[in-house]
A and B are shown apart, each in its own frame.
Chain A
Amino acid sequence: MGYIIYLFALAPIVALPFVFSLWKEFQEEKRVKQMEKLLPNVLEKISFLPATVSFKDMLEIFSKAQRQEPDPLSREFAICSSKIKRGMPPQLAIEEMRFGNSLILSQAKKMLVQFYKNGLPTATVLREMADQIIALQEIARETEASTSMQKYSLLLSAAILVPLILALLYTISLQASSLLLFIAKSSSDVQSAVFISVNIYLVVFSLLVSLFIARQSGKAKSFITYFLSTAPLSLLVFHLTALLV
């Protein structure tokens, strides 16, 4: 049990820098998600502007709206507008908008460049675009909901179910082995090999599950969080169950 206590003492220290970087990543992701959600609304709002409004005027209108009702997307419009006012070429100012890794927002950037080059499209076109974005966001949400069930069941199996089953059968077999001492006593080499292997196997199992979930959610860095939470937990469940049985 000694090394388990060391493991639990070390885990938070090792995890701290990762937790901090993940927290920052989480905040950025939240900001990007919020912007994605607001995008169809913004397109709708642009569609209500009179046809005579230029691209720069449109940015200015959103900058003003930002002062009354701040949101991350309007903030980006305000920053873009102020950069253009300070003399930055509009195309470059649009390129510098902080839209994270979002593919849909990078499409929005391309759309803004088109709006700047060709003028604002008609209200019908803008509404069509908003509808398409809403449809895409809906399917992304449905996909996420469909895969999240599998994700949580895998995490649960790595952290609790697998170590529990292993600990139960391992302890019962070990007890049976000592009861059947005269006919079935396995060598101490095999006993310690099974014990060490099961412990390493639990860590490898958590590693595989963490890698799989991180890959499936498209967030490679989240692998560390999953691994650092499932591996110690599975070892703890295994040792506690083995002690209690």
Chain B
Amino acid sequence: MQFLQQIKEQRKAREVEQVLPLAIFSAYADALTGAQPREIVQNLSSGFSSLSAEMEKVYRAIERGFPFELAVKKVDSKSVYFKDFLSELSALQEGLSHSNASGLKKLAAEILSHHRSELKRHASKSGLGGLLFVAFGAVMPALFASISLLGSVIGFSLTAVEVFIVFLLVFPLVNALVLVYLDYTAPKVIV
């Protein structure tokens, strides 16, 4: 159960990080045009999927009268970059950051550079993923078809129902799992 919860949290963190570069840009543009951190949080409360849900929590807390730095702590995310982003907003609120929001700019550059290294890592892995998919998608079913047709030579006879079950349930399920894995490991940035 705890494992499933962890997976769920990691997935949420990934979803947040997908839109984070754009959200930082939005916050940066708002800050440059003179918007207050509270207004920035409000603007981010819609249009950024999972990130907006978290920002809405912050905005509601601010509305209820929580100080900005406490409201920001309402967010419980596994994403380190998202936490850094919230810290930058707090710094902006406390006047620690300059009015030109240079902290946000630096953070955006850091995230983009991290994403570039992720892309390089993915490029080296994607070949293996493709090979794995062809192996599970073509080689195994082809071998199984051969075994089904020539089964009696090796003393391994199958019934028609077993053939249907393996081809129409087991193989598609294995393929779907490989695709889920490929999807999980693929880098994404939503712009």
Contact = CB atoms under 8 A, between A and B. Distances in A.
Interface of B: 19, 21-22, 25-26, 28-30, 32-35, 43, 47, 100, 105, 108-109, 112, 115-116, 119, 122-123, 126, 129-130, 133-134, 137-139, 141-143, 145-146, 148-153, 157-161, 163-164, 166-168, 171-172, 175-176, 179, 182-183, 186-191
B110 to A, nearest CB: 12
B167 A200 contact: yes
Given A106-B47, A150-B126, A216-B183, A193 B163 contact: yes
Given A107-B29, A121-B33, A153 B145 contact: no
Given A103-B190, A197-B164, A157 B158 contact: no
Given A132-B25, A139-B21, A197-B168, A186 B141 contact: no
A146 B123 contact: yes
A115 interface: yes
Given A197-B164, A197-B167, A216-B186, 19 more contacts: A103-B191, A104-B191, A107-B25, A114-B29, A132-B105, A133-B25, A136-B21, A139-B112, A166-B141, A169-B143, A176-B150, A177-B150, A180-B150, A186-B150, A189-B159, A191-B149, A192-B160, A197-B166, A208-B172
Nearest to B26: A107
Contact of B141 (A107, A135, A192, A198): A198
Contacts of A201: 141, 167-168, 171-172
Nearest to A198: B145
A143 B189 contact: yes
Nearest to A36: B191
Given A166-B142, A198-B167, A205-B172, A186 B29 contact: no
A139 B149 contact: no
B112 A129 contact: no
A142 interface: yes
A166 B140 CA distance: 9
Contacts of B119: 142-143, 146
The 9 lowest CB-CB distance pairs between A and B, nearest first, are A197-B167, A193-B160, A169-B142, A140-B191, A173-B146, A184-B153, A162-B138, A165-B138, A173-B149
A146 B21 CA distance: 18
A150 B186 contact: yes
Given A162-B134, A176-B150, A198-B167, A104 B126 contact: no
A110 to B, nearest CB: 6
A68 interface: no
Contacts of B143: 169
A205 B22 contact: no
B130 A157 contact: yes
A154 B167 contact: no
B33 A143 contact: no
Contact of B145 (A129, A194, A205): A194
21 contacts: A129-B29, A132-B108, A136-B112, A137-B191, A142-B119, A146-B119, A147-B186, A157-B138, A161-B134, A173-B145, A177-B149, A180-B153, A186-B148, A190-B158, A194-B167, A197-B164, A198-B167, A204-B168, A208-B175, A209-B179, A216-B186
Contacts of B32: 121, 125, 128-129
Given A139-B116, A169-B143, A180-B153, A212 B148 contact: no
B92 to A, nearest CB: 15
A176 B151 CA distance: 11
A168 interface: yes
Contacts of A143: 115, 119, 187-189
A168 B116 CA distance: 41
B190 A114 contact: no
Interface in A74-127: 103-104, 106-107, 110-111, 114-115, 118, 121, 125
Contacts of B100: 125, 128
Contacts of A173: 145-146, 149-150
